[in-house]
């Protein structure tokens, strides 16, 4: 059964039982504590905790998830994957344990012809919390399970909470016995490889208090509304139903693995380390595809860094397997075809996805090229000085400056007979991490403040008198200074603290608008406001860096918002409303903003739409927005009740919550009318300009527009103008002919590259045929040896080309050496099956230096005058296999 069919069966089953099918949320999450959605319940968290009333009583969905905390385990175990999908059914105060258990059992065990998964009921085990006698009784009654297959476990395994005060409750997990060949008997408490967990049912029925970890906190009582949250691993169910050993071999990953093996010339299952690398490639290519599809862009921080690391690990793994050519153009389309049945939007946006991915691989290959040059120079210097170890500082320079991975440094240094001071490198890396942590604490120390300390301030002093809508300055008093260790009596020059004032003019980040910047000043202090948040309803918390003097609780201060910052923020927020209205004007009233972010000079806006906007449509949207600015539409604010706002037609966005009285912002009256708590300009013309800079996909039928606003918008247009002028000058062509001229140049370059590649391939083919004709018999193995003037990549290509020209049914081995001392060995499948290993041979002739796969390996560090002797020893080594 295909994974896409398993997904459809789940959704159809729960839809037939009154559940609203909810589409997967995009992988990037607005939750400030997460980079990506990492569990199926994350999008439902506000409803499960009671922060927001759930729009449905029953829901079901298949949520895309990414976890990277255990990325180093990917490929090494059968249970770790970076990207996975979680089937889930949810009840918000509706059904509870009995129905949840009955649904899980029925869907799992009903025959496939009857709309179920057809698992053997006699091989299913369940676990329950040791205190949950209700769940045990229900499993006996509903499923007829015997007591020995209902396993009681403790808090660590079978009690759920979010780690903070709030909802909690016992769990019941379903396991499937995959047979004695995969482990010991005795159930999941004995062996969780043989007994694979495939479904977890969480019964949210209690409220927990303060306390650490997964146990030891007090249970405060029953929840007024009990909820159900379940998670079935889609990949795990596919592993079971497709009869595979692990998640890397199911239909959504195995084709990528097979293509990678074909490109690298290795066979899956023949070598443990090669298998690990193939599994890394299969997992990471799929993960990168899904992250790119949801709008993540490779970068040096946050989500972008995670994606960059995953892409580079995939490319590096292909290199370690012996594949030196670009890999992603071969692998990413295979992953697309695997995932398209469940996510057809991937095919629609694949051109954009591929452009990002292939560009990242090209950049990394360039990085490798630079790093290899630096590494070779450093190794030559070490050898010239009579040393055998590359200093840790040099390895750190390669990593930090050139982005050269340490494992690649270790591998390539070993190929040249040099070790690496790993301890020195690790010490420098640890020092850099500690500097980064200190810098993060310095820039964002407010995040470390204990919520209970803030709650105490709110209880003692009441809500902050918040004046951001009325003024840019207030005379205020310091109610509290807070740090990671609690309340502080005084903050001094250089300290970063969370400051609570009795009155504040600063806008706290919310509704998509970034927080204000500004200063606090007093008779003996000055501080820079770095961030402003509303951690508790009614309380405004300011993160402040003290730049001069001292600040103490009770001090009087002058709080002042940076007027230029606020102006930019007002322009960007009003521009977001204008762009939203322009989209609805051009695309129709069904378009509704699904998320936004704005700060001075910049905005982004997400909206549901089935396809990329064409250039003419984008131009129409941008034109409609700027016509509103030119018309100088008035901007007004009105307060009213929620029913009045709805009757007026004001738009309320799905991810916001509102009280009984709401603030309605109008631009041009009914043209743009939205519920909003942000700051705005007074007339549309004050925005200046809105210049669209990009439009991309961020998930299933979800698009994202980005724009430069105000003075930044004009600056963006000026840069575009200067860029076009510069290109026109370089090409000596009128601007109107630029596109045609550049297209012609690119076509000529591609033709030249193709011709060069053809000539190189032709030369390699001729040389390979000549060398293959010189093969000698070495104890039943055809052996070819040669010393050639060629780069490392050309030497590898030649070795592989010669190997392919030897008879496939006769064991064959090829050794190609460079005068620099680098040797490449390739063996064909017949030789490998006869017990010959390229990686073993390379180590034997180079005294343990070098490595690679069983069919292709490389090493170095041999003096040029010893090359001939080393190659002359190969017939003996090959013949004595």
Torsion angles phi and psi, residue 300, rounded to 5: -105, 5
* 344-369 pLDDT tens trace: 889 888 888 888 898 888 888 887 77
Q: What angle do CA 340, 12, 336 make, to 5 degrees?
A: 5
Supply the pLDDT for residue 440: 44
Per residue, what are the HEC states of 17-63? CCCEECCCCCCECCCCCCCECCCCCHHHHHHHHCCCCCCCCEEEEEE
Q: Of 475, 39, 427, 523, whose CA–CA distance to 233 is shortest? A: 39
* 126-169 pLDDT tens trace: 999 999 999 999 999 999 999 999 999 998 889 988 777 788 89
Q: How far apart are CA 457 and CA 513, in angstroms?
A: 26
Q: Of 99, 89, 28, 83, whose CA–CA distance to 61 is shortest? A: 89
**Cβ partners under 8 Å of residue 397, min gap 6:** 374
Q: What is each CA distance from 93 to 54, 203, 223, 258, 658, in whole angstroms?
A: 9, 11, 10, 47, 22
Count, in order, helices (H) and strands (E) of the chain.
Answer: 26, 34
Cα–chain-centroid distance for residue 138?
A: 39
Supply the pLDDT for residue 447: 43
Q: Are 458 and 502 in contact (CB under 8 A)?
A: no
Q: Are 244 and 250 in contact (CB under 8 A)?
A: yes
Supply the pLDDT for residue 433: 65
Residue 279, number of CB atoms within 10 A of its CB: 27
Q: Of 401, 395, 400, whose CA–CA distance to 378 is shortest? A: 395
**Cβ partners under 8 Å of residue 826, min gap 6:** 799, 800, 802, 803, 813, 814, 838, 855, 856
R_g of the chain, CA atoms, integer Å? 32
Per residue, what are the HEC states of 826-847? EECHHHHHCCCCHHHHHHHHCC
Q: Are 30 and 655 in contact (CB under 8 A)?
A: yes
Q: What is each CA distance from 512 to 397, 413, 419, 678, 810, in whole angstroms?
A: 39, 49, 51, 8, 67
Instruction: Report the b/e string of 29-66 with b at 16+ CB within 10 A.
Output: beeeeebbbbbbbbbbbebbebeeebebebbbbbbbbb
Residue 328, number of CB atoms within 10 A of its CB: 23
Q: How far apart are CA 171 and CA 203, in angstroms?
A: 6
Q: Of 833, 847, 804, 861, whose CA–CA distance to 387 is shortest? A: 861
Q: What is each CA distance from 272 to 266, 277, 324, 408, in whole angstroms?
A: 11, 9, 21, 19
User: What is the phi-psi region of residue 683: left when phi exceeds 0, alpha when psi lies from -120 to 50, beta otherwise?
Assistant: beta
- Which domains can be identified in the chain, with CATH numbers? 3-244 (3.30.930.10), 254-369 (no CATH), 449-561 (2.40.30.130), 566-722 (3.30.980.10), 759-879 (3.10.310.40)
Q: How far apart are CA 489 and CA 481, in angstroms?
A: 7
Q: How far apart are CA 90 and CA 204, in angstroms?
A: 11
Q: Are 195 and 175 in contact (CB under 8 A)?
A: yes
Q: Of 850, 869, 878, 853, whose CA–CA distance to 783 is shortest? A: 878
Q: Of 817, 838, 822, 796, whose CA–CA distance to 379 is shortest? A: 822
Q: Of 168, 285, 272, whose CA–CA distance to 227 is shortest? A: 168
Q: Are 34 and 42 in contact (CB under 8 A)?
A: yes
Sign, Cα dihedral of 190, 194, 200, 201 = negative
Q: How far apart are CA 412 and CA 850, in angstroms?
A: 8
Supply the pLDDT for residue 543: 94
Q: Are 35 and 28 in contact (CB under 8 A)?
A: yes
Q: How far apart are CA 495 and CA 499, in angstroms?
A: 12
* 25-60 pLDDT tens trace: 888 887 666 788 888 888 888 888 777 788 889 999
Largest CA distance in the chain: 94
Q: What angle do CA 637, 641, 642 make, to 5 degrees?
A: 100
Q: What is each CA distance from 347 to 153, 285, 352, 661, in whole angstroms?
A: 45, 15, 10, 45
Angle at which helices 254-264 and 328-339 cross, to 10° = 160
Residues of the chain predicted below pLDDT 50: 439-447, 654-657, 700
β-strands 150-153, 124-129 pairing: parallel
Q: Quote the DSSP letter at residue 513.
A: B
Q: How far apart are CA 867 and CA 599, in angstroms?
A: 63
Q: Are 475 and 556 in contact (CB under 8 A)?
A: yes
72-76 contacts at long range (C-beta below 8 A, 24 or more positions apart): 74/279, 74/280, 74/283, 74/284, 75/248, 75/275, 75/276, 75/277, 75/278, 75/279, 75/280, 75/283, 76/276
Q: How far apart are CA 802 and CA 806, in angstroms?
A: 7
Could you list the residues known to form a binding site, using ranges: 573, 577, 676, 680
Could you list the residues known to form a binding site for Zn(2+), using ranges: 573, 577, 676, 680
Which residues lie across from 651 on neighbouring strands?
674
359's enclosing H/E stretch is helix 350-384
Residue 304, number of CB atoms within 10 A of its CB: 15
Q: How far apart are CA 621 and CA 610, in angstroms?
A: 16
Q: How far apart are CA 320 and CA 857, in angstroms?
A: 9
Supply the pLDDT for residue 33: 67
């Amino acid at each position: 059964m295909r994974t896409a069919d398993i997904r459809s069966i789940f959704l159809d089953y729960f839809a037939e039982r009154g559940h609203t099918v909810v589409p997967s949320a995009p992988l990037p999450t607005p939750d400030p504590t997460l980079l990506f959605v990492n569990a199926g319940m994350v999008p439902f968290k506000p409803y499960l905790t009671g922060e927001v009333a759930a729009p449905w009583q029953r829901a079901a969905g298949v949520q895309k998830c990414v976890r990277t905390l255990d990325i180093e385990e990917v490929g090494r175990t059968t249970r770790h994957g970076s990207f996975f999908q979680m089937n889930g059914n949810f009840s918000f105060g509706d059904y509870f344990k009995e129905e949840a258990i009955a649904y899980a059992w029925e869907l799992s065990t009903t025959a496939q012809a009857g709309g179920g998964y057809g698992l053997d009921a006699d091989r299913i085990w369940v676990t329950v919390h040791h205190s949950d006698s209700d769940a045990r009784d229900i499993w006996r009654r509903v499923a007829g399970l015997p007591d020995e297959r209902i396993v009681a476990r403790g808090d660590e395994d079978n009690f759920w909470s979010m780690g903070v005060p709030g909802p909690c409750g016992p769990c019941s997990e379903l396991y499937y016995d995959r047979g004695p060949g995969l482990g010991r008997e005795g159930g999941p408490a004995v062996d969780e490889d043989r007994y694979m967990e495939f479904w977890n049912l969480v019964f949210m029925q209690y409220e927990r208090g303060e306390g650490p970890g997964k146990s030891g906190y007090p249970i405060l009582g029953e929840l007024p509304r009990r909820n159900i949250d379940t998670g079935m691993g889609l990949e795990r169910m596919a592993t079971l139903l497709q009869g595979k050993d692990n998640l890397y071999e199911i239909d959504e990953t195995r084709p990528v693995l097979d293509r990678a093996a074909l490109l690298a010339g290795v066979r899956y299952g023949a070598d443990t380390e090669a298998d690990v690398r193939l599994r890394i490639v299969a997992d990471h290519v799929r993960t990168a595809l899904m992250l790119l599809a949801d709008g993540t862009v490779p970068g040096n921080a946050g989500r972008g860094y995670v994606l960059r690391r995953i892409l580079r690990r995939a490319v590096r793994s292909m290199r370690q397997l012996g594949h030196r050519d670009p890999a992603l153009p071969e692998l990413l389309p295979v992953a697309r075809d695997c995932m398209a049945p469940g996510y057809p939007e991937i095919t629609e946006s694949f051109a954009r996805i591929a452009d990002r991915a292939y560009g990242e691989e090209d950049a990394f290959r360039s990085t490798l090229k630079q790093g290899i040059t630096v590494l070779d120079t450093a190794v030559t210097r070490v050898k010239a000085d009579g040393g055998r170890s590359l200093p840790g500082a040099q390895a750190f320079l390669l990593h930090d400056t050139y982005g050269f991975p340490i494992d690649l440094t270790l591998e390539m240094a070993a190929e040249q007979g040099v070790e690496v001071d790993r301890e020195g490198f690790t010490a420098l890396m640890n020092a850099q991490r500690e500097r980064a942590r200190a810098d993060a604490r310095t820039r964002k120390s407010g995040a470390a403040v204990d919520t209970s300390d803030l709650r105490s301030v709110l209880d003692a002093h009441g809500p902050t008198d918040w004046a951001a809508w009325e003024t840019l300055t207030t005379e205020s008093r310091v109610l509290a200074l807070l740090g990671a260790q609690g309340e502080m009596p005084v903050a001094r020059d250089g300290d970063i603290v969370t400051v609570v004032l009795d009155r504040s003019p600063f806008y706290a980040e919310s509704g998509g608008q970034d927080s204000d910047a500004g200063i606090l000043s007093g008779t003996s202090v000055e501080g820079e406001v770095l961030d402003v948040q509303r951690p508790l309803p009614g309380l405004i918390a300011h993160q402040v860096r003290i730049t001069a003097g001292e600040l103490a609780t009770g001090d009087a201060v002058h709080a002042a918002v940076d007027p230029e910052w606020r102006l930019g923020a007002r322009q960007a927020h009003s521009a977001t409303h204008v762009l939203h209205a322009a989209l609805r004007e051009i695309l129709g009233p069904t378009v509704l903003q699904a998320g936004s972010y704005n700060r001075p000079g910049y905005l982004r806006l997400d909206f549901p739409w089935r396809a990329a906007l064409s250039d003419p449509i984008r131009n129409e949207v941008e034109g409609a927005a700027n016509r509103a600015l030119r018309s100088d539409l008035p901007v007004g604010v009105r307060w009213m009740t929620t029913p009045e706002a709805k009757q007026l037609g004001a738009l309320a966005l799905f991810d916001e919550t509102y009280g009984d009285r709401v603030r309605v912002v109008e631009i041009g009256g009914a043209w743009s009318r939205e519920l909003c708590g942000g700051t705005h300009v007074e007339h549309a013309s004050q925005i200046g300009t809105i210049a669209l800079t990009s439009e991309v996909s961020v998930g299933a039928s979800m698009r994202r527009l980005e724009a430069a606003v105000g003075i930044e918008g004009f600056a963006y247009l000026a840069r575009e103008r200067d860029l076009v002028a510069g290109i026109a000058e370089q090409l000596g062509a009128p601007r109107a002919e630029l596109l045609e001229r550049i297209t012609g140049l690119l076509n000529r370059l591609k033709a030249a590259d193709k011709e060069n590649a053809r000539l190189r391939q032709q030369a390699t083919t001729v040389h390979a045929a000549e060398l293959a004709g010189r093969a000698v018999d070495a104890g039943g193995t055809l052996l070819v040896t040669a010393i050639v003037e060629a780069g490392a990549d050309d030497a590898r290509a030649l070795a592989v080309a010669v190997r392919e020209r030897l008879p496939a049914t006769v064991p064959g081995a090829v050794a190609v050496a460079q005068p620099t001392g680098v040797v490449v060995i390739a063996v064909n499948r017949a030789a490998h099956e006869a017990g010959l290993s390229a990686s073993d041979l390379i180590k034997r002739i180079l005294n343990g230096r070098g490595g690679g796969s069983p069919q292709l390996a490389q090493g170095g560090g041999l003096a040029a005058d010893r090359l001939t002797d080393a190659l002359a020893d190969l017939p003996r080594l090959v013949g004595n296999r």
